Amino acid sequence: MMGRPFIHRSPMPGLGLSMGITLTMLSIVVLLPIGALLLKGASYGPAGIWETVNRERVWAALFLSFRLSLFAALFNLVFGVALAWVLVRYRFPGRRILDAAVDLPFALPTAVAGIALTALYAPNGAFGRLAALIGWKIAYTQWGIFIALVFVGLPFVTRTVQPVVEEIEREVEEASATLGASRLHTVRHIILPMLAPAALTGFALSLARAVGEYGSVIFIAGNIPMVTEIAPLLIIIRLEEFNYDAAAAIGIAMLLISFLMLLVINLIQVWSRRRIGDV
Amino acid sequence: MSDTSLARKPARFRPATEESPAARRALIGVAFLGLGILAFAPLIAVFAEALADGIAASLRSLASPDARAAIRLTLTIAAISVPLNAIFGIAAAWFITKFDFRGKAFLITLIDLPFSVSPVVAGLCIMLMFGTNGLAGGWLATMGYPIVFAIPGIILATLFVTFPFVARELIPVMIEQGRSEEEAALTLGASGWRIFRTVTLPNIRWALLYGVLLCSARAMGEFGAVAVVSGKIRGQTATMPITIEMLYQEYLPVAAFSLAAVLALLALVTLLLKTVLEIRHADQLAATLRR
Amino acid sequence: MHIEIDEISKQFGTTAALHPVSLSLPSGALVALLGPSGSGKTTLLRILGGLEFPSSGRVLLDGQDATGLTVQERRAGFVFQSYALFRHMTVFDNIAYGLNARPRASRPPKAEIARRVTRLLELIQLPDIGARYPGQLSGGQRQRVALARALAIEPRMLLLDEPFGALDAKIRKELRQGLRDIHDTTGLTTIFVTHDQEEAMGLADLVVVMSMGRIEQIGKPQDIRSRPATPFVREFITA
């Protein structure tokens, strides 16, 4: 039946052990739990999931999470590309520290980031006071959620774009200039299109991270149903009410969004590889 | 030398690959401003709030039984889950890079999967599998092994969210290095374990350390997934991040921020070590530093 | 275009890439800058193209001081050793790039651009590849596209950095003739850099032999061959 063997014979030792550890741990830690969620969803049926999700409060939470994540990821797209450019192309005092600081959102626990951002942007906080001068309320509004999501998504675009900036051949930029293009024209028509696939990948990663983010958001959000209540929080609330079915339904909706974004990331990569190839 | 032969460098000349000095300065300014507001300010805020009542108050709150229990628990969790994760990462990288089999790309996708799942959903999944009402949890609990609302559940949640860290760093490095060194050792009659210890490990040690470092940072800081499965029992299943949340909700900001400052210090050490690794051993780390 | 290089020198830090060199190239000539690597030939070419600024000296184009002109103003068709094609653009868009990059006022209309690109594709004898991406072309095809792209801006001179360096021997011969034909058709002053003495001798009207940042000899190929001016030249052309 099978055209080729499932595993090629190899003199390399350790096949059984490495395969055993890999598959066992993958199953226990990842596959069985996700399977349990999907099974719950299956027992529930699409109609059942729809019934739970199709409530105003759930929609509001999912829509809020997705919308603000999109805005935050867009902000990170622009800022992240600029930052990657600055870090790779320019030499200035403090560059290494800036470069290391990009990873801070990866290293700083989300709960720590959450209370720190709240302390800064609350009406009596350092930035909150400034904003209050012009009547702008940040913490406990959607602005606060936006800022927290920008924070957690900060590294993705920069870290995916940086290696690509490093690889741009100087000759390509020079060619553009010899053909009469101004620097701005070169940036817009040569450099940015070359960075686009990596930037889009980073954008999608940042978006995926933001949609699922919980720890850094809940402190600053205010968590008012329909207004500043994010989808992951709603899952926690349902779980605390022991309403596992509702929690699972929202969880499946979020899982589907994640899978969709994973698919988009892969499609971007396939598309850019096919189009640009390797020259 | 006559004056005409000296080309006066016109002010506007600049290499074709550079932006104007004004654009440069503006971009560098944006970078400092952006990271200043987004990264440095929160970091400073943590320490400022922790020391709001002086260092003595801060240290006193860290010495409280709850805080000490939280620190102990978080270290325990990390001490168990990080080595497990490293073992998995090494095994997965060995399996994936030393053998040819069908569905390899799919397996890698599955290993990466936890990165794209919300930590809260991860916690929910563990709850549905191992919770008392879950598929296996009820049976395990009656056998005397409660998982959820206990340490094993927190470890599972931590493993889930950190799952790809080590494997992801090792796989690209091991692909790059190929199999020839191991094959050579094999022809010389070395045993499998000996090959791993004397040939493979020296080649991947920095990448392994890098992965372990990132994994530890995340393991000690995980909040969302742990919040779901821990049950938040003070002194028993409240990790440092969970305790921070509880203290903060109880309007004990100095206590909350003091504990947060400990985690922030750990994060800074992580970043420092990571930067040192990237500078010293860049050639032995995965080319893409993307996570 | 008559090109005059007047006492041009270039320092990179403390090392001198070019000692003051002077050179007068008649309009319409096909010139080879010949020398081993590190002889300063590419630096000289890049100074002509406006990609480097000389440490001292002047570049005169038809008697006008062009030293201070930016790359963009210089309008030199430059073909890079790596070709530096824009790989996210089709061949058509690559060739049209210089025309599209002009400010709106001096930009030709779309139909005119298309007409010119088509004509250039015919000139390089690849009329059917406009819709392809550089990644889908062979090395020889890429080189010709890079040439067409440089010609599209109606350059005042054509500068080529090791134009045949990345190609295998058989294609080199073909493309050599191609460059000769294009030079004869356009009548542009053409300067190419090479380290291959056979290529320089076989193709150029005028050969400039360089070594260690200095010009060793300037002359017609047969003169250089029959009367090498320095021991270096004698050794280099017989090697």
Q: How far apart are CA B175 and CA B166, in angstroms?
A: 14
A251: nearest CA in chain B? B121
Residue where one domain finishes, among candidates B8, B28, B50: B50
Contact B5 C68 (CB under 8 A): no
Give the tens place of pLDDT for each residue, A18-35: 999 999 999 999 999 999
CA diameter of chain B? 99
pLDDT at B286: 67
Give the tens place of pLDDT for each residue, A153-171: 999 999 999 999 999 999 9
Give the tens place of pLDDT for each residue, A213-233: 999 999 999 899 999 999 999
Contact indicator for C148, A174 with CB cutoff of 8 Å: no
What is the percentage of chain B residues whose pLDDT exceeds 70? 94
Give the tens place of pLDDT for each residue, A106-115: 999 999 999 9
> In this complex, is the C-beta atom of C131 within 8 Å of any C-beta atom belonging to chain A?
no
Name, in order, each residue with C-beta under 8 angstroms of C221's C-beta and a sequence gap of 6 or more: C200, C201, C202, C204, C207
Q: Is residue B38 part of a domain?
A: yes
C12: enclosing H helix or E strand:
strand C3-12
Q: How far apart are CA C20 and CA C215, in angstroms?
A: 9
Q: Count of domains in chain B?
A: 2
Whether B174 and B256 share a structural domain? yes
> In this complex, is the C-beta atom of B7 within 8 Å of any C-beta atom belonging to chain C?
yes
Q: How far apart are CA B114 and CA C114, in angstroms?
A: 50
pLDDT at B5 over 80: no
Contact C58 B16 (CB under 8 A): no
Give the tens place of pLDDT for each residue, C30-49: 999 999 998 999 999 999 99
Whether B105 and B39 share a structural domain? no
Q: Is residue B29 part of a domain?
A: yes
pTM reported for the whole predicted model: 0.90
pLDDT at C173: 85
Whether B158 and B260 share a structural domain? yes
Whether B194 and B263 share a structural domain? yes
Whether B273 and B182 share a structural domain? yes
Interface confidence (ipTM) of the complex:
0.92
Q: State the smallest CA–CA distance between residue C205 and chain A in angstroms.
A: 25
pLDDT at B4: 42
Q: Is residue B172 part of a domain?
A: yes
**CA gyration radius, chain C:** 18
Whether B44 and B117 share a structural domain? no
Q: Is residue B44 part of a domain?
A: yes
Q: Is residue B123 part of a domain?
A: yes
> Which residue has 């009406």 as its token pair?
A123
Q: How many residues would you count in chain B?
A: 291
Structure tokens at B85: 């994760």
What domains are defined for chain A? 38-278 (1.10.3720.10)
Whether B107 and B228 share a structural domain? yes
The mean pLDDT of chain A is 91
A16: nearest CA in chain B? B95
DSSP B82-105: HHHHHHHHHHHHHHHHH--BTTHH
pLDDT at B15: 86
> Which three-class secondary structure state does DSSP give residue C158?
strand
Q: Is residue B7 part of a domain?
A: no
> Which residue has 């460098």 as its token pair?
B9
Give the tens place of pLDDT for each residue, A32-76: 999 999 998 888 888 888 888 888 999 999 999 999 999 999 999
Whether B134 and B28 share a structural domain? no
Among A168, A170, A171, A178, the residue to mutate for chain C (most C Cβ within 10 A): A178
pLDDT at C171 over 90: no
Whether B40 and B145 share a structural domain? no
The mean pLDDT of chain B is 90
Give the tens place of pLDDT for each residue, B182-210: 999 999 988 889 999 999 999 999 999 99
The one-letter amino acid code at A4 reads: R
Q: Is residue B118 part of a domain?
A: yes
Give the tens place of pLDDT for each residue, A126-149: 999 999 999 999 999 999 999 999
Q: How far apart are CA A261 and CA B23, in angstroms?
A: 35
CATH number reported for the structural domain that contains residue B229 in this entry: 1.10.3720.10
Whether B86 and B32 share a structural domain? no
Give the tens place of pLDDT for each residue, B33-42: 999 999 999 9
The mean pLDDT of chain C is 93
Give the tens place of pLDDT for each residue, B129-162: 998 888 888 888 888 888 889 999 999 999 999 9
Rounded to the nearest angstrom, the gap between the alpha carbon of residue A185 and the centroid of all alpha carbons in its chain is: 30
Instruction: From chain B, pick out residues whose CB is under 8 angstroms from the CB of C68.
Output: 7-8, 10, 13
Average pLDDT, integer, range B57-65: 95
> Which residue has 């675009």 as its token pair?
A157
Whether B31 and B144 share a structural domain? no
pLDDT at A98: 95
Average pLDDT, integer, range B169-176: 92
C contact chains, 3+ CB pairs < 8 A: A, B
Instruction: From chain A, pick out residues whose CB is under 8 angstroms from the CB of B29.
Output: none
pLDDT at B219: 96
Whether B174 and B252 share a structural domain? yes
B7, B12, B16: residue with CB nearest C67: B7
pLDDT at C187: 94
Average pLDDT, integer, range B213-231: 94
Which structural domain, as residue segments, surrounds residue B171?
64-289
Q: Is residue B236 part of a domain?
A: yes
Contact C57 B10 (CB under 8 A): no
